């Protein structure tokens, strides 16, 4: 029997012993690859948008002063995040009703079309005010579709992963995130170096967005090859309320599960404020505030991403041994203590100092990116997991993550203090520390409402015994 059918093992000392699900390793790896490519494509777009923000501001907005153009560009970036909760409200409960795979295929296609559309929109010089309007529409399509992407991908991988390896398996999602970001940033950097500035502004900037089409086709193929997760199939067999209306699902999420929802929002806040400040705002900060050449800014942030991304899966594996919360807690404390020193180091202006400061922020970031994909799904039971993670994740991202570049840019413009963005990181670290304190350690445990999950029969028997011991405790 295959992994998707959930091989079951009842061997043990008691007839009433809970079943265990045995997942096939090849299926798990396919699930990870199919889920990660969505994150890769999403963050490929973000990497491109962040690295090419200066050019986008010139192409799509009227020629006023440079600061106003940049603020308009980041405002468009932020508005897309404001519709992400709507995508989460729609796609999340839908994924709990009709299945994770179908919804993830839909979000992949919609995301690819939104990104592709940006590469096809004429400039402000060609169609006037319709240029920023169409850019906004494309960003809204992206935001709506990505509202159902991360929660579904994290749920999909977590439900396919053995309990004792969930941290490692799920961490590949965020490896895909930084891979996509780095690929997008690298492509923009290559175009910036090899093309004449006029050609890049006229048509070269469109190339990275047009790459989204082939990426979407690959992702769709990988996702359609997979079956539903064992946990979802078991939930369907038990005739849980899969056909509940969206409003009823949301009422359940906010009415019965508001405590884990608050924890989810807090954990996502610290993760994404750090993430978006480093990946989306920092390239512009280095060039517009510190006076670095645009290409140098791109390369410095790209080098930082490449240096830290390999450690994500290392920490993910480590989290299966020592727990998710010690790693996330360490990252929160590091933000509180090291954010201002990191920005003061960056403000020194030398290449070595800037890279050192960026690495400090990057190393705190991977404390969250390595643990969140396996921590968030463990907050909620199977019947609402996709919806709850999507809603909590996207509310937090919309309010605190996507607005980070805009707030940071505004703080610098108002105060003139180069290190002022560190305030955002310190505040995020404090919130993260509180969320970690109130969260139960999920490492090594079954997902709520799911059977113990293992890679083989021997491990399944151990997991069943462990579950029995926890129930007795």
What does the alpha-carbon distance between residue 154 and residue 162 come to, in Å, rounded to a whole number?
A: 14
Name the more confident of 364 and 37.
364
Per cent of the chain over pLDDT 70 is: 90
**pLDDT-derived band of residue 421, with 50, 70 and 90 as boundaries?**
very high
pLDDT band at 471 (very low <50, low <70, confident <90, very high): low
Model confidence at 335: pLDDT above 50 = yes
Cα separation, 430 vs 325, whole angstroms:
15
Beta bridge partners of 21: 8, 453
pLDDT at 455: 75
User: Given the DSSP bridges, would you call strands 453-454 and 20-22 parallel, antiparallel or unpaired?
Assistant: parallel
Pick the CATH number of 24-224+256-468 from 3.40.120.10, 1.20.1250.20, 3.40.50.880, 2.10.10.90: 1.20.1250.20
To 10 degrees, what angle do helices 130-146 and 100-118 make?
160
Give the pLDDT confidence score for residue 346 in this predicted structure: 95
Highest mean pLDDT (candidates 53-57, 139-143, 259-263)? 259-263
Half-sphere exposure of 306 (CA within 13 A, CB side): 12
In our burial notation (b when 16+ CB lie closer than 10 A, e otherwise), range 309-321 reads: bebbbebbebbbe
> For the segment 50-80, what is each residue's pLDDT rounded down to a tens digit?
677 778 888 888 877 666 666 677 677 677 7
Nearest to 71 by CA among 57, 87, 91, 90: 57
Where residue 14 falls among pLDDT bands split at 50, 70, 90?
A: very low
How far from chain centre, in Å, is Cα 309? Answer: 14
* The pLDDT value given to residue 16: 44
The pLDDT value recorded for residue 469 is 62
Buried b (16+ CB within 10 A) or exposed e, 245-268: ebeebbebbeeebeebbebbbbbb
Instruction: Tell me the per-residue pLDDT of 380-403, one tens digit each, with 9 for 90 and over.
Output: 999 999 999 999 999 999 889 878
**C-beta of residue 270 within 8 angstroms of C-beta of residue 418:** no
- Conformation bin of residue 443: beta by default, left when phi > 0, alpha when psi is -120 to 50: beta
In angstroms, the CA 214 to CA 28 distance is 24
Spatial separation of the C-alpha atoms in residues 288 and 282, rounded to whole Å: 10
At residue 236 the predicted structure's pLDDT band, cuts being 50, 70 and 90, is: confident
Weakest-pLDDT range from 10-14, 131-135, 345-349: 10-14
Both tokens of residue 57?
A: 């501001």
The closest alpha carbon to 267, from 346, 182, 370, belongs to: 370
Q: State yes or no: pLDDT of 169 exceeds 50.
A: yes
Alpha carbon distances (Å) from 436 to 117, 263, 270, 371: 40, 8, 10, 11
State mean pLDDT over 350-362.
96
Supply the pLDDT for residue 5.
44
Range of weakest confidence among 38-42, 309-313, 320-324, 331-335:
38-42
pTM of the model: 0.86
Grouping H, G, I as helix, E, B as strand and the rest as coil, residue 65 is: coil
- Measured over all CA atoms, what is the biggest interatomic distance in the chain, rounded to whole angstroms? 76
Average pLDDT, whole number, for the chain? 86
Res 207 pLDDT > 60:
yes
CB of 88 closer than 8 Å to CB of 147 = yes
Cα–Cα dist 2/468, whole Å = 26
349 or 67: whose pLDDT is higher? 349
User: Concatenated DSSP letters for 430-468?
Assistant: HHHHHHHHTSPP-TTSPPTTS--EESSHHHHHHHHHHHH
- pLDDT given at position 69: 67
pLDDT value at residue 12:
42
Comparing 80-84, 98-102, 144-148, 190-194, which segment has the lowest mean pLDDT?
A: 80-84
Q: Above 80 in pLDDT, residue 244?
A: no
CB 362 within 8 A of CB 305: yes
pLDDT of residue 3: 42
Mean pLDDT of 259-285: 93
- Residues 25-31 have a mean pLDDT of 85
């Amino acid at each position: 029997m295959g992994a998707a059918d959930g091989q079951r093992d009842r061997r043990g000392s008691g007839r009433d012993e809970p079943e265990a699900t045995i997942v096939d390793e090849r299926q798990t790896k396919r699930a990870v690859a199919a889920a990660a490519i969505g994150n890769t494509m999403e963050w490929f777009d973000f990497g491109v948008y962040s690295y090419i923000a200066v050019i986008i501001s010139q192409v799509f907005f009227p020629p006023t002063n440079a600061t106003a153009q940049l603020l308009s560009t980041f405002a468009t970036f932020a508005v897309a995040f404001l519709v992400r909760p709507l995508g989460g409200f729609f796609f999340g409960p839908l994924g709990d009703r009709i299945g994770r795979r179908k919804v993830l295929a839909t979000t992949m296609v919609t995301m690819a079309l939104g990104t592709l559309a940006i590469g096809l929109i004429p400039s402000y010089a060609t169609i006037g005010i319709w240029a920023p309007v169409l850019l906004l529409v494309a960003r809204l399509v992206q935001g709506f579709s990505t509202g159902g992407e991360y929660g579904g991908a994290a749920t999909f991988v977590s439900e396919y992963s053995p309990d004792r390896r969930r941290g490692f398996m799920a961490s590949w999602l965020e490896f895909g995130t930084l891979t996509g970001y780095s690929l997008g940033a690298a492509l923009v950097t290559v175009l910036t170096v090899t093309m004449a500035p006029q050609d890049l502004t006229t048509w070269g900037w469109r190339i990275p967005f047009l790459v989204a089409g082939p990426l979407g086709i690959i992702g769709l193929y990988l996702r359609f090859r997979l079956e539903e997760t064992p946990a979802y199939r078991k939930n369907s067999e038990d005739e849980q309320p899969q056909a509940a209306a969206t409003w009823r699902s949301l009422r359940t999420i906010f009415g019965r599960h508001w405590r884990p929802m608050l924890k989810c929002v807090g954990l996502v806040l610290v993760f994404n404020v750090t993430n978006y400040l480093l990946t989306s705002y920092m390239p512009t900060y280095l060039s517009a505030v510190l006076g670095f050449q645009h290409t140098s800014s791109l390369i410095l942030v790209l080098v930082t991403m490449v240096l830290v991304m390999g450690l994500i899966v290392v920490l993910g594996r480590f989290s299966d041994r020592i727990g998710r919360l010690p790693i996330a807690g360490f990252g929160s404390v590091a933000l509180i203590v090291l954010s201002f020193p990191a920005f003061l180091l960056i403000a020194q202006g030398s290449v070595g100092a800037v890279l050192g400061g960026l690495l400090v922020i990057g190393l705190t970031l991977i404390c969250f990116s390595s643990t969140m994909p396996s921590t968030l799904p463990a907050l909620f039971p199977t019947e609402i997991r996709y919806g709850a993670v999507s809603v909590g994740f996207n509310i937090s991202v919309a309010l605190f993550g996507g607005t980070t570049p805009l707030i940071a840019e505004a703080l610098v413009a108002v105060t003139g203090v180069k290190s002022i963005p560190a305030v955002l990181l310190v505040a995020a670290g404090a919130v993260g520390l509180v969320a970690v304190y109130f969260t139960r350690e999920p490492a090594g445990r079954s997902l709520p409402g799911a059977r113990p999950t293992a890679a083989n029969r021997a491990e399944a028997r151990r997991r069943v015994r462990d579950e029995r011991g926890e129930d007795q405790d």
